[in-house]
Amino acid sequence: MGAKTEKAVRSLKITQEIYPIVKNFYMESWEAKKQNKLVCWAGVGDPRELFWAMDLVPVYPENFSATCGAKQISAPACAFAEAAGYSRDTCSYFRNTYGYMVNRDNLPEPPGGGMAHPDLLILAVNSCHTRPKWWRIMERHYNVPTFIFEAPTIPWDMRRDKIDSHYLEFVVTQMKDMVAFIEKHTGKKLDIKKLKEAVFWGDRASALIDEIYELRKAKPCPLGAEDMVTALFPIIVLRGAKVAADFYEKMLLEVKERVAKGEGVLPNEKHRLFIDNIPPWYTKGLYNYFHKYNAISVAESYTTNFCWQTRMDPERPFESLAMSTIANWLNISYMEKGETLLKTARDYQIHGAIFLVNKSCKVYTGSNTYLANLLRRELGIPTLVLEADQTDPRDYADAQVKLRIDAFMEMLA
Residues that bind another protein (CB under 8 A): 84-87, 89-91, 125, 127-130, 132-137, 139-140, 146, 148-150, 152-153, 155-157, 164, 166-167, 169-170, 173-174, 177, 333-335, 338, 357-359, 362-363, 365-370, 373
Shortest distance, position 42 Cβ to another protein, whole Å: 16
166 or 261, CB closer to another protein? 166
269 or 319, CB closer to another protein? 319
Q: Which amino acid makes up residue 12?
A: L
36 or 87, CB closer to another protein? 87
Shortest distance, position 369 Cβ to another protein, whole Å: 5
73 or 128, CB closer to another protein? 128
Decide: helix, strand or coil at residue 386: strand
Shortest distance, position 37 Cβ to another protein, whole Å: 25
In 3D space, the residue among 299, 326, 311 whose CA is nearest the CA of residue 229 turns out to be 299
Shortest distance, position 337 Cβ to another protein, whole Å: 9
Name, in order, each residue with C-beta under 8 angstroms of 64's C-beta and a sequence gap of 6 or more. 26, 96, 97, 100, 110, 114, 115
Shortest distance, position 335 Cβ to another protein, whole Å: 7
Are the beta carbons of 378 and 365 closer than 8 angstroms? no
Rounded Cα gap, residues 120 and 104, in angstroms: 19
51 or 149, CB closer to another protein? 149
Rounded Cα gap, residues 392 and 234, in angstroms: 23
105 or 157, CB closer to another protein? 157
Shortest distance, position 359 Cβ to another protein, whole Å: 5
178 or 296, CB closer to another protein? 178
202 or 338, CB closer to another protein? 338
In 3D space, the residue among 311, 308, 298 whose CA is nearest the CA of residue 228 turns out to be 298
Shortest distance, position 92 Cβ to another protein, whole Å: 12
Rounded Cα gap, residues 160 and 191, in angstroms: 29
Shortest distance, position 150 Cβ to another protein, whole Å: 6
Rounded Cα gap, residues 243 and 319, in angstroms: 24
| Count of other CB atoms within 10 angstroms of residue 293 | 18
Q: In what order do the strands lie in the sheet with 352-357?
A: 295-300, 271-275, 352-357, 383-387
Question: Which CB contacts under 8 angstroms, 24+ apart, belong to 345-348?
Answer: 345/274, 345/375, 345/379, 345/381, 346/379, 347/217, 348/216, 348/217, 348/272, 348/274, 348/298, 348/299, 348/304
Cα-to-chain-centroid distance, residue 107: 24
How many alpha carbons lie under 13 Å from residue 413 in its C-beta half-sphere?
10
